[in-house]
Every structure is written in structure tokens, then in C-alpha cells.
């Protein structure tokens, strides 16, 4: 069901491109069962360097646990201190996050809407760093770059950080600077309210309401701006099962958005390069099905080449290995070096990054197929535990994701590749082993860590 929207009647921008007065901003904080991080989020939102009289905070609370009581106390204390903050309860989760944002939008006082998820901290200078770009009346949204308070917590958080670096440091920057469409990431950005409404408002018919609204707004002609050097801190999932749940939602939602918005984009009079980039952007997760298919046919491929000789294998497997992964490696190495990492440290991260990416093919292929065949699912938010230091524990906390089915399939795939490696070594096909190891390590690591995080008891 598509959520309704209403017409905005006023705008505070003057035709000259200068603000008539300091803009009033609404900061929206959509929350659902976030008792471990909600205090951190709210306190950061009211501490922005902006006059109290020129911003409000909406805590859009759909919680069903003690999070609501925690929010109520924090909000009451902040109201007594003179902050313009409201605790908004809908009584249901209709439309999930999209529904909460739309509900808040209709009563928001600001003509500019900043949005932060529960795993983020609102930067103190966020409004000051972003609001002046809206003096250009064509700017509909400004997105800041993500950074992470717990990147070094574990191997899986480090891998997530590298994956997201590629998205924010390379993809977003390149798309924005080359005039292509890019997307609001659901948080750490600020919208012109009129742009949201003009594009049809927040709609809940995909799992990625942020990506959907982004494309509808840009199709309408609104311009987006990405600020690579403005950082917004967040907490990465420490539970690999939560990470997989997040990846599933993003992958499924992107294909749902592809089906919904790409036909609309094709009808628009836009440069062919914009349409092609949108095709690759929205349809990028189809590649996980190809990776999974490649994994499944690996053994027949090895068997079919047993008799061609080592010399021929040298000139088939090694180039295949190099060219298949060269572009991916360069992509992430550039991102890490831009972040300040050395070339040597950057390149050492690539093998494990590729292994985990390959292991995600089962989880994300399932998501893609569900989207293709119109299997609807509810919005599952990613649990956060307020974990920043390596010594901190999270196994005893609520919101843990229980997942044993897909990790079992991943473990079977690890056994499959273990057999292929043994088969290849015993027949002298050593040139295929490096490629096979990437698949084997990825599936084994992902499955074992999922089992561990599912079955580990709190202490």
C-alpha cells in the first residue's frame, strides 16, 4: 500500500537564492526497539550547533518494549531544559519506517527534514555543514558520508567498513560528480520537505524506501548533493546474522525499487548515460545470482579441463583469476587509500573482503529472488547494542538474530569447495586453488560465525 501525502504551501527560500531568515529544521529520529542506543541518539540530536528556536526533534517511536519508557524520560528532561522535542507514538507500525517518517512529515514544522537512524550520532555541525547548500532552489537532498565508531571491533565489522567505504567514497562521489543519479541512504542526510512531497512522499511498497524516494525525486528533476568530507558516525552490526539481515533487506529492496522505478526513468528525457548507470545501480544485486551460479558449476568446470595440461591451465585459470577480481580489488583499494590507509594495508584486506562478498551470494540471492517473485516481507531493522570497544560484550543482550537455515547451506557450500580443492590438488591442478580458496574460506567463515553468534550464550 502506498502511503498518502499532502501539499506543502510555504517555502522560506527567496528567489535571490539566499535565506530570508535562518531556516527552521526538523530532525526526525525513527526508532523501533532500540533501548541500548536511543539515549545516545537523542542526546546527540539536541546538541547540534544551531539555535534552539530554529530546530525541532521528532522521536518517531514505534517501539513495543521498554524503549518507549526510556524515550519518555529523556524527552521530558530535555523539554524541561528548553529543547523543542516531541515523542511521537502512532500506536501501530503501519508502513514501518516509511510510515513513521510520513507520519512525522505531516506534522513537521521545518521546511528541511534531517533524518538519523538509531545506530547514528548526529554530528554537532550537521545542520551548519549542510543547510546552506539549499540556497540553490534545485537542491532536494544533501547526503553526508558514513563513518564508524566500532570499525575495529572485529573482523566482520572491519569487512563491513571496507564494503561501505567503496559505496560512499567511490560510488557516491563518482555518481554525484558525474551528474548521475545517486541515493539518500536512509540516514545522515537532510531533505527539502517540498522535494519529498513533490516526489510522492514516503511510500512503503519497497523495503528500501530511501532508494525509492531518491529515484522518484530525481526523476522529478530535484538535484542531490553528496558531501564526502562531512562524516556522520554510526555503529556497525557486530552480529553477522544482523549483518546478513541488513544485506537481505537492502538487496531485496533494491530489486523492488528497480521493478518500480526503472520503467518510470526510461520514459524520462534523460541522457542515455544516466539511464545506463541507473540500470547498473538499481540492478546491481542481480550479480549475486550469477556468483551463486558460478559457485555451483565450479566442479564441472574443473573436471572439464583436467586433460588440457598445466600449460593451458596456466593461461586460462590465472588470467581468469586476475581479471575477475582485478576491478573489484582496485575499487576497494582506492576507497581505502582515500580513507588514509596505505596501499599495503589496503591490498591485504581484499582477499577476505572478496570471500565474505562471495559468501553473501546465498543470502542475497534469496533476497533478489523474493523480490522478483513478489514475495513480501516485513521491514526487519538491524539490531544495535551500543558496542564500540573490543572488550565489550553483546551476547547477553536482547534483539539477537537467530538464523541457522542459510548458514547450514553456506556450510554445505564450504564442504563442496573443500572437496573441489582436494580434487584439484590430487590431480595437479594447482593453478585453480587460489580462486577456490576464496570461495572456500568465505563460505566456511560466514557459516561458522553465524552458528557461533546464534548459539553463543550470554555471559
Write out the catalytic residue numbers.
62, 210
Helices 433-455 and 240-267 cross at an angle (nearest 10°) of 110
- How does 173-202 read in b/e, with b if 16+ C-beta sit within 10 Å? bebbeeebbbbbbbbbbbbbbbbbbbbbbb
Q: Do 352 and 159 form a contact (C-beta atoms < 8 A)?
A: yes
Q: How many residues does the chain have?
A: 459
Kind and range of the H or E run holding 452: helix 433-455
- Of 187, 177, 193, 185, which Cα lies nearest the Cα of 9? 193
DSSP letter for each residue of 318-350: HHHHHHHHHHHHHHHHHHHHHHT--HHHHHHTH
Distance CA 108, CA 451 (A): 44
The DSSP element (H or E) to which 143 belongs, if any, is strand 139-148
Alpha carbons 367 and 362: distance in angstroms, whole number: 9
Distance (Å, whole) CA 345 – CA 334: 12
Question: Helices marked H in 185-271 — which ranges?
Answer: 193-198, 209-219, 240-267
Amino acid at each position: 500500500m502506498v502511503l498518502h501525502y499532502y501539499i506543502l504551501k510555504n517555502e522560506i527560500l527567496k528567489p535571490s537564492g539566499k535565506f530570508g531568515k535562518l531556516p527552521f529544521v526538523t530532525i526526525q529520529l525513527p526508532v523501533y526497539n532500540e533501548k541500548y542506543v536511543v539515549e545516545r541518539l537523542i542526546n546527540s540530536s539536541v546538541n547540534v550547533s544551531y539555535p534552539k528556536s530554529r530546530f525541532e526533534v521528532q522521536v518517531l517511536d514505534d517501539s513495543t518494549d521498554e524503549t518507549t519508557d526510556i524515550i519518555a524520560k529523556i524527552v521530558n528532561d530535555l523539554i524541561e531544559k528548553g529543547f523543542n522535542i516531541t515523542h511521537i507514538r502512532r500506536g501501530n507500525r503501519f508502513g514501518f519506517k516509511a510510515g513513521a517518517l510520513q507520519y512525522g512529515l505531516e506534522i513537521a514544522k521545518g521546511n528541511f527534514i534531517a533524518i538519523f537512524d538509531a545506530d547514528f550520532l548526529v554530528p554537532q555541525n550537521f545542520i551548519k555543514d549542510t543547510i546552506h547548500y539549499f540556497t540553490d532552489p534545485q537542491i532536494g537532498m544533501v547526503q553526508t558520508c558514513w563513518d564508524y565508531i566500532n570499525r575495529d571491533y572485529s573482523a566482520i565489522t572491519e569487512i563491513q567498513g571496507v564494503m561501505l567505504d567503496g559505496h560512499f567514497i567511490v560510488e557516491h562521489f563518482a555518481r554525484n560528480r558525474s551528474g548521475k543519479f545517486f541515493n539518500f541512504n536512509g540516514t545522515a542526510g537532510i531533505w527539502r520537505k517540498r522535494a519529498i512531497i513533490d516526489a510522492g512522499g514516503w511510500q512503503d511498497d519497497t523495503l528500501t524506501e530511501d532508494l525509492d524516494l531518491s529515484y522518484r525525486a530525481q526523476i522529478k528533476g530535484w538535484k542531490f548533493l553528496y558531501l564526502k568530507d562531512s562524516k556522520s558516525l554510526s555503529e556497525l552490526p557486530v552480529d553477522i546474522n544482523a549483518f546478513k539481515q541488513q544485506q537481505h533487506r537492502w538487496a531485496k529492496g533494491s530489486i523492488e525499487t528497480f521493478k518500480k522505478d526503472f520503467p518510470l526513468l526510461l520514459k524520462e528525457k534523460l541522457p542515455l548515460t544516466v539511464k545506463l548507470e541507473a540500470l547498473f545501480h538499481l540492478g546491481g544485486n542481480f550479480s549475486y545470482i550469477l556468483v551463486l551460479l558460478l559457485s555451483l558449476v565450479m566442479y564441472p568446470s574443473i573436471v572439464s579441463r583436467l586433460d588440457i595440461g598445466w600449460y593451458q591451465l596456466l593461461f586460462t585459470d590465472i588470467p581468469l583469476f586476475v581479471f575477475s577480481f582485478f576491478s573489484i580489488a582496485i575499487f576497494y583499494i582506492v576507497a581505502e587509500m582515500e580513507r588514509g590507509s596505505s596501499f599495503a594495508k589496503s591490498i591485504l584486506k581484499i582477499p577476505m573482503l572478496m570471500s565474505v562478498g562471495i559468501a553473501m551470494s546465498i543470502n542475497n540471492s534469496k533476497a533478489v529472488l523474493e523480490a522478483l517473485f513478489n514475495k513480501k516481507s516485513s521491514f526487519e531493522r538491524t539490531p544495535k547494542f551500543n558496542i564500540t570497544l573490543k572488550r565489550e560484550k553483546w551476547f547477553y543482550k536482547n534483539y539477537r538474530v537467530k538464523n541457522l537455515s542459510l548458514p547450514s547451506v553456506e556450510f554445505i557450500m564450504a564442504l563442496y569447495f573443500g572437496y573441489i580443492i582436494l580434487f584439484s590438488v590430487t590431480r595437479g591442478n594447482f593453478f585453480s586453488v587460489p580462486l577456490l580458496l576464496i570461495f572456500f574460506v568465505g563460505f566456511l567463515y560466514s557459516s561458522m560465525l553465524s552458528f557461533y553468534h546464534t548459539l553463543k550464550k550470554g555471559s
